[in-house]
């Protein structure tokens, strides 16, 4: 083994758990590490650990794409899901119109407008694209 390989090997045992996610336990540890790095590094690209944060985020994203894919769904399905998660009734969304209007939207009788999409995105603090 040459000097470079020995040097890499000596550090690999420390680095490997951070960038190799093989199961849910590894995933949970990686997410916890990423959150700790985000608390410390934030968006400071000059921080010495920024590249580790960036790399770990990429590794986690790849694992999630393989093991936790987000299913394709319509904007109405997203709205129904959010309403269920937040225990909302049509009357709880007056920004979309009357309860009858909201019911017509979730039943697919009326399409979401651009204004509706932006309103919902702001309310649920998510990207408008999820409703398109």
At 7 the pLDDT is 78
Residue 1 has pLDDT above 60, yes or no: no
Residue 17 has pLDDT above 90, yes or no: no
3-class DSSP assignment, residue 114 = helix
Last residue of a domain, one of 32, 67, 102: 67
Verify that 63 and 85 share a domain, yes or no.
Answer: no
Q: Give the number of domains in the chain.
A: 2
Verify that 61 and 108 share a domain, yes or no.
Answer: no
Cβ pair 37, 28 in contact under 8 A: no
The DSSP result for 37-50, as a single string, is HHHHHTT-TTSTTH
Q: Which two tokens stand for residue 70?
A: 């987000």
Last residue of a domain, one of 19, 42, 67: 67
Last residue of a domain, one of 67, 100, 116: 67
Q: Which two tokens stand for residue 101?
A: 């209007």
Structural domain of 89: 75-131
pLDDT digits (tens, 9 = 90+) for 89-107: 999 999 999 999 999 999 9
């Amino acid at each position: 083994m040459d000097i470079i390989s020995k040097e890499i090997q000596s550090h690999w045992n420390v680095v490997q758990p951070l960038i190799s996610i093989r199961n849910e336990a590894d995933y949970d540890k990686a997410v916890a590490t990423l959150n700790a790095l985000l608390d410390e590094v934030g968006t400071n690209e000059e921080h010495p650990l920024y590249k580790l944060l960036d790399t770990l985020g990429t590794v986690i994203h790849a694992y999630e794409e393989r093991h936790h894919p987000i299913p394709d769904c319509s904007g109405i399905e997203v709205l129904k899901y959010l309403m269920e998660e937040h225990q909302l009734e049509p009357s709880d969304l007056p920004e979309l119109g009357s309860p009858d209007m909201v019911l017509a939207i979730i039943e697919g009788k009326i399409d979401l407008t651009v204004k509706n999409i932006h309103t919902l995105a702001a309310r649920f603090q998510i990207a408008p694209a999820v409703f398109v």
